[in-house]
Amino acid sequence: MGKIRIVESIREMQSYCEALRRAGKKISFVPTMGYFHEGHLSLMKEACKQADCVVVSIYVNPTQFGPKEDFSKYPRDFERDREMAQSVGVDVIFFPSNQEMYPETYQTYVDVEQVTKNLCGMSRPGHFRGVTTICCKLFNIVKPHTAIFGKKDFQQLAAIKRMVKDLNMDLEIIGMPTFREPDGLAMSSRNVYLSKEERSSALALVGALKLAQKLYAEGERKADVMIQQAESLIKSAPFTEIDYIKICDTSTLEDVNEIKQEAVMALAVKVGKTRLIDNSVLGEELKA
């Protein structure tokens, strides 16, 4: 396995990827904010299966954090990330600075209007505008054939797919199943913020999703019944504060009352000071 290449400049990244494309090589891309866990590595492994060259970006994107959110304390450890990416066969890490990505003159944003309204869009105004903007920029820099995202960020994936379709971007977006700890907790870089006690309360999120799946399998189709039971389960766990628990149409992400089409239960819960999200498409196996 060759030594991983680190690229900090946009120009260098673009000409490197352009040369690969001209040589007929397939590029797969995993955009990240770093502080890798097994979930990130599973996306990178998938990318390695698909392509001749795998590029991973590590960039904590300031435009997707609200003023009161954890931008400055978001966990970062470049050396650890570099070793982990190298161990699974990643070829290039794109690691730009803020100055490189958003120089003083910067003024262009991509806004996906509908699928970003509900769920996290309600409690994190501007978040998805930041996500779609940075992904659009990264796609123009890395020029990948495929880009791989985790399904834990269900709404993020929907917004990116919408952007790619609406703006006729020439790449395929691939969603991979949520990677979970052995006890079911969805992997997230933010899990490191949890104390031991909060960590066990956080299991209520996956517990609520499992309960919804059980009710759905038993024939329940009323969203409010399922939401209310999920809510009681989460409220019974200490340190939890529910932001939302919703059941939405998987394509529009609008709330549904009676489940007649494919629907997802999505939830966001603060455990102590840490905001966690998780989701599960009803009727799909929840591997936990």
DSSP letters for 170-207: SSEEEEEPPPB-TTSPBP-GGGGG--HHHHHHTHHHHH
Count of residues that interact with ligand PAF, criterion CB under 6 A: 10
Q: What is the DSSP code string of 45-60?
A: HHHHHH-SEEEEEE--
Which residue in the set 153, 181, 198, 278 belongs to the binding site for ligand PAF (CB under 6 A)? 153
Rounded to the nearest whole angstrom, what is the least distance from the CB of residue 200 to ligand PAF in the complex? 25
Collect all residues with Cβ–Cβ distance below 8 Å to 120 and sequence separation of at least 6: 127, 128, 155, 268, 277
Distance CA 256, CA 265 (A): 10
Q: Is 116 in the site for ligand PAF (CB under 6 A)?
A: no
CB of 40 to ligand PAF, least distance (A): 8
Instruction: Give yes or no for residue 112 binding ligand PAF (CB under 6 A).
Output: no
Strand order in the sheet with 92-94: 5-7, 92-94, 53-58, 27-32, 146-150, 172-176
Check: CB of residue 189 under 8 Å from CB of residue 35: yes
- Two tokens, residue 108: 């262009």
**Distance in Å, CB of 127 to ligand PAF, minimum:** 9
Q: Does 131 bind ligand PAF (CB under 6 A)?
A: yes
Under the criterion CB under 6 A, does residue 245 sit at the interface with ligand PAF?
no
Q: Per rule CB under 6 A, is residue 31 in the interface with ligand PAF? A: yes
40 in active site: yes
Among 13, 33, 141, 158, binds ligand PAF (CB under 6 A): 33
Closer CB to ligand PAF, residue 32 or residue 146? 32
- For the annotated catalytic residues, the residue numbers are 40
Q: Could you list the residues that contact ligand PAF (CB under 6 A)?
A: 31-33, 61, 64, 131, 134-135, 153, 156
